[in-house]
Structure 1
Amino acid sequence: MSTLHPFRRGNLRLLQKSALRLNSTKVESTTAAVQPEEVPVTSETKAAGTAANNTESPHFKLLNAHNIPYDGPIEQLAEMSEAQLNEIVNSAPSPTLGRENILNSRFEKLLSLYGNRDKLKKQFSSSSSLLARFPNLVPSDSTSPYTPAELTIRQKHHASMMGGLGSKIVKVYQPHTLITNPPKINQVTVEKLMASGAHLGRSTQLFNQNFQPFVYGKYKGLHIIDLEKTTSYLKNACKVVQGVVENGGIVLFLGLQVGQLRAIKEAAKRCNGYYVARKWIPGAITNSLENPKPRHEVDMQDFKTNRELNTDESNQVIKPDLIVILNPESASVAIKEANQARIPTIGIVDSNVDPSLVVYPIPANSSSGRTTNLICGVLGKAGETGLQRRLQKVAEYKKTLGMEPNENFGLIDKIDDEN
């Protein structure tokens, strides 16, 4: 048995003495009722009186109905009824201090619960509550903290009762979905563009006069971009990307600001293109000496043909067929090289940028990461559609020739040359 609190031990001793005093008064009353006549004082009666007075000593043990002494005050209280407990509690002297009154009232409540434990146990076993579903559960004492099993049951009960309450949050913005699962161009609406902040332009003091056709208005020192025109120009850019990839062209995604690496990487992966992040090396297009070597030829399915290239083909300048620039204002060198090499460009232009810098401008907020991720994902999705169409056409063409879908065209060319 665990040790009791000092206050509880004191109250139990007090109750034990009160119980002994109550039993002694009951014995005296019963003896007076049975033997109304006076008993002469003898040596035996003196001895009996001395034994009765010794019941107040701490070494005295109260006997139960079977004349077996109790082990402690808890066992004595265990066999008492609720009325006997209340009588003992009321017979105990009340404390004098206010703190003791509060503690004594709490102790009386605990004793009343302890006296009614059998009744409460029957109610618990017969109830249809959640705890009744677990017959092997041992409930903790009312003065002890909950056990881990009880806490788990209480949490399940709370979830079943209160889990369905509250607001249901729908259409929550998740940043990774614009990169991992971007929408198609037919799913892009003005509401999605506005939610991404594409309508917010730069300050009116930084306004470029050539951007005037794309301005919707002014608000608190900012130019508001017309999202209807943004949607229209974005559709045209998607058609360009889809057409270039479908015809076997190379698309290069260029994002030089922090936080754009993952977006351009995923977009380039979708359309089997390339990307440049953080810094554009001057001369990457115009300086042919910096092109990678050795080189190899690929077919329309992007498989190696294993054909040996001649000198002119080995020295030919490799350049992309289309460049997608997320921030044209910070990629002026790349735009100049693309214009010099006659490479078409697609760019997200803001209100402080001249739209004529790129061939296919998309008026939107280029400083917002959410906007650039959305537009880059949509363009990458369009390139993926073009790639699937190209592979499907090549598979149908191979089928007409009696070839397998994964068979290489270079093997057929070698066989024809040998024949």
Structure 2
Amino acid sequence: MAQVEYKDLLDAGVHFGHLTRKWDPRMAPYIFMEKNGIHIIDLNKTLASLDDACNAIKGIVRSGRKVMFVATKKQAQEIVTEEARRLKMPYVTDRWLGGMLTNFATVRKSMKKLQTLDKMLKDETTASNIAKRERLTMSRDKEKLDRVLGGIVDLTRLPAALFIVDVKREHIAVAEAKRLGIPVFAMCDTNSNPDEVDFPIPANDDAYKSIALITLAIGKAIEEGLMERKQDKDDQRLQEEEEAKRASDSRQAAAEGADEAPAAEATAPVAEAADEQPE
């Protein structure tokens, strides 16, 4: 895993928290000091928390499960979308639909509708048979669904974990994940409640550089988990091939032994008869 240095966090402004009057007292263990009316986050705690989060998320991905990225604030949308697409992971960056996890079956119907509309509009034969007004309505519906559900359209089951930027803003997603027992990895600023998430990462969740640094670190851990999973599958396949080859060799050796036995038995009487002839 690409090691994030203390200086990297400092340069990205990860240590800048909110105004002291806006703080959440439950973030006290992660606050280093107060300066000019602003809380300063303890970057040593950030490094330790980020390391724990990366190790845990890598293990989840290595087991073949998905991690959903959630970030609907403007400064986080671009970097989170790019990283999720690169890793082929589900993401939500427009707005969180209530019940996206707890009412997943209904959301799946909307996702299937989006896939159907996309297929119909791409098929030139079908599209040419639809009236212009109806085609325009379908295009608008598709655009609206794609904006909200485009990042999770390929999701066939609930994700194994959530990575969230700003738990205060995404409190509905946190509540749904908590209700379903889905672990949450999240950037927590000084105005957040770290007790609501399983793996809080104390960091500035408003600055683009800070969000990018933490998101890319999490992305790197997911990438390593995917590579390790691929390596595990390759090793398993090689092992199965070797076992199959050994079994085949054993069967072949047994067959050859069975063929030689009757031949030996046939030559034995001839030898005995030669011994019994008079001199």
Q: TM-score range by the shorter chain?
A: 0.5 to 0.7
Alpha-carbon separation, structure 1, partners of 2:28 and 2:44:
15
| Partner-residue secondary structure (3-state), 1:352 | coil
Alpha-carbon separation, structure 2, partners of 1:288 and 1:353:
27
Q: What's 2:70 paired with? A: 254
Larger RCO, structures 1/2 (Cα 8 Å, 6+ apart): 2
Cα shift readout 1:154-196 (whole Å, capped 9, x = no counterpart): xxxxxxxxxxxxxxxxxxxxxxxxxxxxxx442x111110100
Alpha-carbon separation, structure 2, partners of 1:241 and 1:260:
20
Structure 2, unaligned runs of 5 or more: 113-155, 243-279
Alpha-carbon separation, structure 1, partners of 2:23 and 2:104:
38
| Partners of 2:69 and 2:92 within 8 A in 1 | yes
Q: Is 1:362 the equivalent of 2:201?
A: yes
Cα shift readout 1:260-288 (whole Å, capped 9, x = no counterpart): 23322232234431111020000111113
| Letter paired with 1:352 | N
Alpha-carbon separation, structure 2, partners of 1:247 and 1:289:
24
Alpha-carbon separation, structure 1, partners of 2:29 and 2:75:
30
Q: What's 2:53 paired with? A: 237
Q: What's 2:35 paired with? A: 219
| Partners of 1:270 and 1:383 within 8 A in 2 | no
| Partner-residue secondary structure (3-state), 1:217 | strand
- Report the CA distance between 1:259 and its aligned residue: 3.1
| Partners of 1:270 and 1:381 within 8 A in 2 | no
Q: How many residues matched?
A: 198
| Partner-residue secondary structure (3-state), 2:21 | helix
The runs of at least 4 aligned residues of structure 1 exceeding 6 Å deviation read: none
- Report the CA distance between 1:357 and its aligned residue: 1.4
Alpha-carbon separation, structure 2, partners of 1:398 and 1:251:
26
| Partners of 1:202 and 1:351 within 8 A in 2 | yes
Question: TM-score, normalised on structure 1?
Answer: 0.45
| Partners of 2:2 and 2:217 within 8 A in 1 | yes
Alignment partner for residue 330 of structure 1, among 137, 161, 169? 169
| Partners of 1:197 and 1:368 within 8 A in 2 | yes
Residues 1:199 and 1:262: Cα distance change in structure 2 (over 3 Å): same
Q: Is 1:228 the equivalent of 2:44?
A: yes
Cα shift readout 1:203-227 (whole Å, capped 9, x = no counterpart): 0111111111111111100011100
Q: Is 1:384 the equivalent of 2:223?
A: yes
- Report the CA distance between 1:401 and its aligned residue: 2.6
Cα shift readout 1:222-277 (whole Å, capped 9, x = no counterpart): 01110000000000010111111100111000011113233222322344311110
| Partners of 1:185 and 1:238 within 8 A in 2 | no
Larger relative helix fraction: 2
Superposition RMSD on alpha carbons, in Å? 1.8
- Report the CA distance between 1:329 and its aligned residue: 0.9
Cα shift readout 1:313-336 (whole Å, capped 9, x = no counterpart): xxxx82110000011111111111
Q: What's 2:108 paired with? A: 292
| Partners of 2:70 and 2:164 within 8 A in 1 | yes
- Report the CA distance between 1:291 and its aligned residue: 4.1
Cα shift readout 1:370-406 (whole Å, capped 9, x = no counterpart): 1011100110010000000000110121122339xxx
| Partners of 1:193 and 1:227 within 8 A in 2 | yes
Alignment partner for residue 397 of structure 1, among 236, 243, 254? 236
| Partner-residue secondary structure (3-state), 2:75 | coil
Q: Is 1:277 the equivalent of 2:89?
A: no
| Letter paired with 2:222 | G
Equivalences for residues 96-245 of structure 1 within 5 A:
184-186=1-3, 188-245=4-61
Select between 282-291 and 381-390 the one with higher mean Cα deviation: 282-291
> Percent identical across equivalent pairs?
30
Q: What's 2:212 paired with? A: 373
- Report the CA distance between 1:339 and its aligned residue: 0.6
| Partners of 1:267 and 1:381 within 8 A in 2 | no
- Report the CA distance between 1:369 and its aligned residue: 1.1
| Letter paired with 2:50 | L
| Partners of 2:174 and 2:197 within 8 A in 1 | yes
| Partner-residue secondary structure (3-state), 2:33 | strand
| Partner-residue secondary structure (3-state), 1:198 | coil
Structure 1, unaligned runs of 5 or more: 1-183, 296-316, 404-419
- Whose radius of gyration is greater, 1 or 2? 1
Question: TM-score, normalised on structure 2?
Answer: 0.67
Q: What's 1:321 paired with? A: 160
